Structure 1
């Protein structure tokens, strides 16, 4: 409980029947796990020992560092020479950027945390047997209708090996998941799950520890003869069953060429001739016209109706192309042909695509802004001018209604719906890549309430081999996204806030904090960010994570208190500036968190909040003003079939089974209840 976790009644009862030795062993392992979940497994020191009290004015602090350098014989001459030029490098001052006290001395300067009713307390529940838990998690991950994030794919890979010969899901709709499962099946000597030549390519990437999403090129390893035979036999069977699937090769021509160099298909031409055709297409020796090229030819000729008719054979592609097709129409007959084709194939389109297109069209109003925000699968974000024509309003309305009707028909009978109001504005997890690993983390675009008077951000990093300087900053913007102020190592204090001090090297790990009194903050938006000033990137350091805490004003305590941590997120992205989350003040004066999970490219070195204010404001505007499809939407679609719909007040639990959807599973639910929390929220999305 000191770390913010407690045991459910069922779990306490189960533990009470075990031996003392067993309980202690479980306790040690569990406490270590939950401490790491909230970031309490490391020592969070601060530069200013009394933080958030007694943080000096920035200029006064810098002048003190210079004075101390002039008083030091080892740095006197160098500092004096710099003063003569009018510019002093802070990193050359001995008292700047390094802890001036031990962790124990910092703890001694702070009182124990004053407990408050608002402190986070996460309930740990009793699990099943290890075999049951492993099988259930494997099936849930494998049959997911939405792509998993990096952590989910890694977990699926770990579980698939031990589950290869056990129960299997009826279908594995996500191709990346199928590749990970096939990797385990090939090791176990079990038949592969293949229905396209691309499935074989993804499996080959998995065998080489490459990118199964096929976004990044994979350097294929030399493969054993038995494995080569399995891959070639798989290619042959797919093409033999459906020769038209040879056209899929052209989308990944270079990857297939490189794979062919490892598989030596010429050695098996007589046995698997269709597999040899795959590589002949890749080399351009055999023509296999792609589906996409035929669609592009029709659109180039202005035959929108013909393109729509052709796309009926590829329902998902048709839906993804709706915006473009409707903009290309010049007469009403063409618009009718496109919408009729979409309505015809809607039952064959995955719910994830239906919901994604629905969200897209919902935001394609005529007053759409002049900027578009793009986010790739790694979280790298950028903004570009929006030069598209609007989608015609009648067709837009019609194409929003179609996914709604189809999704409603696929949702299960919910019975008694018990809803945590705080989950209503959580964005639907249409992709696991729109979030990050961690505690209390929600999908990109989600909104969640901020209940507390003190908001405190933290970042921790530990370098691997070279000096690394991360800088925690917070940018405050007004309602028009204009900069009001900021907190960083260049602005240690501001109205309502303090920075804990700049740490410039982290061989043993380092932490920085920003403390904000929300009632005193000037502005409408708070955007915390982590800038890489120098050294290793987020994917190079041994460890890096960001989070925030919430406290009441009267709560004293240490700079880092695990019970007050509301969110802790791993920082593992491709850019040099991380934007995990933003905070928005509503018209009612209450603050809410808007989840971003974004990375800016930034500069190779010396990234600062001052230098990226404009790009951050532009990006934030695009995210904030986009209406993300949230859990509320699916609940509205289910509500008319529910026997009852109850907004949970946090206290009363119904006696019978319920379908519970909320941020955390409450204690005392009927054992036959279906429970959906952020950990398995993807299971709410139908197939």
Structure 2
């Protein structure tokens, strides 16, 4: 399992050297097989593998191949409705396609077509290197996740939990401090679950009442972000005493508990603090105030009152001791201020106490503050990848004010970063401007490569993008799914986001350009798949620019209730060569496991030849036409929002580190530290970025 995690995250595996000489045929055969999956071995890995006995080699090789197949989706059997796709669909008559679809809908049987022999794959594939790793490096990967200063995904949590469950000595992965409160709740709950914690160990992590609430949510398998309400389970008496003891030692309990008043009342009914006559007096008093609605003046109430009175000065004075809250409300404070200069000065006085993620977001916000964007886009906290876009009605703020705030943020960050170890000569790749900073990964789906929403990836060479979808029916948590029908669609828009056409089960091919769907399969007892081919030059020539990939659960099961469902895409230069599903050509693969029925994994910008990573979920089926008023959460709005998104990017952050901690050079080969898309520290090293560069 450790190598499975390591391979997925860092494309590394641990192999202990032996004292043998493995026959070269074994190494050559193994490398040829993994090459067919899009991977190869590094020289370091080959050197160690050569020292293994045949038995040790096979023990390493077979799990590795299974893990690689799972990463790219080759662990599934792909049998499309039309096995000679795409030509078979393009050449068939409308009547033939219609009658075969009706036959399948009535019988759930696939048409009987002989699969013709396909010409071998002609595409040249850039192979991904698998390198030799170490226990120390693996432990640092897990430690980075725990020390992340922004939220982590469910897949991240699964890997941390495995380590906590498996390690006897956790000192190599547990830091003295866990910066992110959500991670505190999850990690402490895992330590308690596997009986690897005492109050001395976990007490240093839990400092506020909200920390205790997150812990209770985690122990109940709920949402530690507190974005959704958790149904607390009945805690055992030792657990109740532990939660009360931890809560008792928290300062300023009442105000913190009032933020989530109803949840605390419910939790209090389960904890029963009144059962303990001579203990937990602070807890009893706090619950008494909550249950009986006793008056209690809170800090937040005072700030809100000042804002309602349009008294920016009073609000700022109240907020000066809570620098992060001051920074988040800075735009509002400036809009209601008669004079911006005093407000800017007050922000400058507290900027050093604002966390790095908030400073970076404030800096990016004011850098683009007066750009006339039609929409403002938000990603609500929670475990589902949702985006909300609203009309941008904010009035302008003077350019000098925006520039002053940006400079304050930069100065505070530079000073903070300068206290970190030197980076020496540093190269920062300009292409990193296309990649967003990883601030909120809690709802990120498990994928071949972990990428931040809004990031733009260059399309490799090739004219055909091939989307694929695979799903399966079965039993989940003791309940059978019933028939499951997932539909793969691609919707095309022009440069103004006017609808052009869609390819889906209702329109298997286009009469205007080269695009085809492999056929609508409506049941998957043994697994089912669908493909869509899109020829980029023909679409651009016709006036299309954007393609929104969409997946819809037609039979209404949420993806989290399916045994398995994943999607992905390949770039093909010669789409008629090779198999329909060629693992080595897979660019990305993403698991669909959220509590939703519609997913938008990516948007393609065909003119710029960029893949815009979305990993978004919609709650209801969107319409294909452009109507913002009636389609506020639909495809067009999401498309506009994601293609105009302005968020902190990796280039700007790494450049601040470079200037504060080293000397910027113009060529990677001259640098001691490299930040790039393809070498050194890359956008895909997310756990390291979250732990080390959001300092």
Select which of 154, 159, 170 maps to 1:155: 159
Select which of 60, 69, 73 maps to 1:39: 73
For 1:418 and 1:27, locate their aligned partners in 2 and report how far apart those are by CA, in whole Å: 37
Q: Which residue of 1 aligns with 2:646?
A: 627
Q: Which residue of 2 aligns with 1:642?
A: 662
For 1:395 and 1:644, locate their aligned partners in 2 and report how far apart those are by CA, in whole Å: 29
Per the alignment, do residues 474 and 188 of structure 1 end up closer, same or farther by CA in structure 2, a change over 3 Å counting? Answer: same
Contact 2:89 2:516 survives alignment (8 Å): yes
Q: Which residue of 2 aligns with 1:578?
A: 599
Q: Which residue of 1 aligns with 2:309?
A: 301
Q: Which residue of 1 aligns with 2:352?
A: 347
Q: Which residue of 2 aligns with 1:505?
A: 523
Q: Which residue of 2 aligns with 1:80?
A: none
Say whether residues 1:323 and 2:331 are aligned partners: yes
Select which of 566, 569, 583 maps to 1:548: 569
Contact 2:429 2:651 survives alignment (8 Å): no
Give the length in aligned residue pairs.
Answer: 630
> Could you tell me how far 1:678 is from its partner in structure 2?
4.2
Say whether residues 1:212 and 2:224 are aligned partners: yes
Contact 1:446 1:628 survives alignment (8 Å): no
Say whether residues 1:196 and 2:200 are aligned partners: no
Select which of 469, 488, 491 maps to 2:504: 488
Q: Which residue of 1 aligns with 2:537?
A: 519
Say whether residues 1:175 and 2:187 are aligned partners: no
Say whether residues 1:538 and 2:553 are aligned partners: no
Contact 1:138 1:163 survives alignment (8 Å): no
For 2:353 and 2:693, locate their aligned partners in 1 and report how far apart those are by CA, in whole Å: 15
> Could you tell me how far 1:578 is from its partner in structure 2?
1.1
Per the alignment, do residues 620 and 676 of structure 1 end up closer, same or farther by CA in structure 2, a change over 3 Å counting? Answer: closer
> Could you tell me how far 1:541 is from its partner in structure 2?
1.1
Unaligned runs of 5+ in 2: 1-34, 475-480
Q: Which residue of 2 aligns with 1:386?
A: 392
For 1:261 and 1:415, locate their aligned partners in 2 and report how far apart those are by CA, in whole Å: 57
Q: Which residue of 1 aligns with 2:456?
A: 447
What whole-Å deviation, never above 9, does each CA across 1:249-297 have from its counterpart, x for those lacking one? 1111111111111211012252221122232232135444322111011
For 2:572 and 2:627, locate their aligned partners in 1 and report how far apart those are by CA, in whole Å: 29
The secondary structure found in structure 2 opposite 1:271 is coil
Contact 1:434 1:444 survives alignment (8 Å): no
Q: Which residue of 1 aligns with 2:3?
A: none
Q: Which residue of 2 aligns with 1:142?
A: 146
Per the alignment, do residues 65 and 436 of structure 1 end up closer, same or farther by CA in structure 2, a change over 3 Å counting? Answer: closer
The secondary structure found in structure 1 opposite 2:259 is helix
Equivalences for residues 387-466 of structure 1 within 5 A: 387-411=393-417, 412=420, 413-419=422-428, 422-433=431-442, 435-451=444-460, 452-464=462-474, 465-466=481-482
The secondary structure found in structure 2 opposite 1:439 is coil
Per the alignment, do residues 453 and 467 of structure 1 end up closer, same or farther by CA in structure 2, a change over 3 Å counting? Answer: same
Say whether residues 1:8 and 2:27 are aligned partners: no
Q: Which residue of 2 aligns with 1:282?
A: 290
Q: Which residue of 2 aligns with 1:53?
A: 87
> Could you tell me how far 1:470 is from its partner in structure 2?
1.3
Contact 2:499 2:626 survives alignment (8 Å): no
Per the alignment, do residues 432 and 257 of structure 1 end up closer, same or farther by CA in structure 2, a change over 3 Å counting? Answer: same
What whole-Å deviation, never above 9, does each CA across 1:561-617 have from its counterpart, x for those lacking one? 01100111112234332111111134xxx41111111111114xxx77679996312
> Could you tell me how far 1:683 is from its partner in structure 2?
3.4
For 1:251 and 1:145, locate their aligned partners in 2 and report how far apart those are by CA, in whole Å: 22
For 2:682 and 2:643, locate their aligned partners in 1 and report how far apart those are by CA, in whole Å: 32
For 1:441 and 1:135, locate their aligned partners in 2 and report how far apart those are by CA, in whole Å: 19
For 1:182 and 1:379, locate their aligned partners in 2 and report how far apart those are by CA, in whole Å: 25
Contact 2:598 2:618 survives alignment (8 Å): yes
For 2:206 and 2:214, locate their aligned partners in 1 and report how far apart those are by CA, in whole Å: 10
Per the alignment, do residues 486 and 629 of structure 1 end up closer, same or farther by CA in structure 2, a change over 3 Å counting? Answer: same
For 1:680 and 1:170, locate their aligned partners in 2 and report how far apart those are by CA, in whole Å: 18
The secondary structure found in structure 1 opposite 2:442 is helix
> Could you tell me how far 1:390 is from its partner in structure 2?
3.2
For 2:247 and 2:147, locate their aligned partners in 1 and report how far apart those are by CA, in whole Å: 23
What whole-Å deviation, never above 9, does each CA across 1:2-32 have from its counterpart, x for those lacking one? 1011111111111111221111111100110
> Could you tell me how far 1:421 is from its partner in structure 2?
5.6
What whole-Å deviation, never above 9, does each CA across 1:66-112 have from its counterpart, x for those lacking one? 8x86xxxxxxxxxxxxxxxxxxxx833x4xx643248xx54x53233
Q: Which residue of 1 aligns with 2:364?
A: 359
Q: Which residue of 1 aligns with 2:260?
A: 252
Equivalences for residues 563-602 of structure 1 within 5 A: 563-586=584-607, 590-602=608-620
For 1:23 and 1:492, locate their aligned partners in 2 and report how far apart those are by CA, in whole Å: 47
Bigger mean CA deviation after superposition, 608-617 or 371-380:
608-617
The secondary structure found in structure 1 opposite 2:226 is coil
What whole-Å deviation, never above 9, does each CA across 1:326-373 have from its counterpart, x for those lacking one? 1222x11xx23322222111111111111122233333325231x333
Contact 1:575 1:599 survives alignment (8 Å): yes
Q: Which residue of 2 aligns with 1:72?
A: none
> Could you tell me how far 1:638 is from its partner in structure 2?
3.3
The secondary structure found in structure 1 opposite 2:96 is helix
Q: Which residue of 1 aligns with 2:110?
A: 99
What whole-Å deviation, never above 9, does each CA across 1:294-324 have from its counterpart, x for those lacking one? 1011112222101101111111111111122
Say whether residues 1:681 and 2:689 are aligned partners: yes
> Could you tell me how far 1:528 is from its partner in structure 2?
1.2
For 1:211 and 1:675, locate their aligned partners in 2 and report how far apart those are by CA, in whole Å: 27
For 1:297 and 1:629, locate their aligned partners in 2 and report how far apart those are by CA, in whole Å: 32
> Could you tell me how far 1:62 is from its partner in structure 2?
4.5
Per the alignment, do residues 154 and 269 of structure 1 end up closer, same or farther by CA in structure 2, a change over 3 Å counting? Answer: farther
For 2:269 and 2:516, locate their aligned partners in 1 and report how far apart those are by CA, in whole Å: 59
Per the alignment, do residues 420 and 548 of structure 1 end up closer, same or farther by CA in structure 2, a change over 3 Å counting? Answer: farther
Contact 1:422 1:448 survives alignment (8 Å): no
Per the alignment, do residues 493 and 63 of structure 1 end up closer, same or farther by CA in structure 2, a change over 3 Å counting? Answer: closer
TM-score (norm 1): 0.86
> Could you tell me how far 1:440 is from its partner in structure 2?
2.6
For 2:576 and 2:489, locate their aligned partners in 1 and report how far apart those are by CA, in whole Å: 23
Bigger mean CA deviation after superposition, 560-569 or 353-362:
353-362
What whole-Å deviation, never above 9, does each CA across 1:96-129 have from its counterpart, x for those lacking one? x643248xx54x532332251xx13111111113
For 1:204 and 1:415, locate their aligned partners in 2 and report how far apart those are by CA, in whole Å: 45
Select which of 120, 132, 136 maps to 1:126: 132
What whole-Å deviation, never above 9, does each CA across 1:391-430 have from its counterpart, x for those lacking one? 3433222222222222222334322334556544211111
What whole-Å deviation, never above 9, does each CA across 1:154-173 have from its counterpart, x for those lacking one? 22233234377524323211
> Could you tell me how far 1:463 is from its partner in structure 2?
2.4
TM-score (norm 2): 0.85
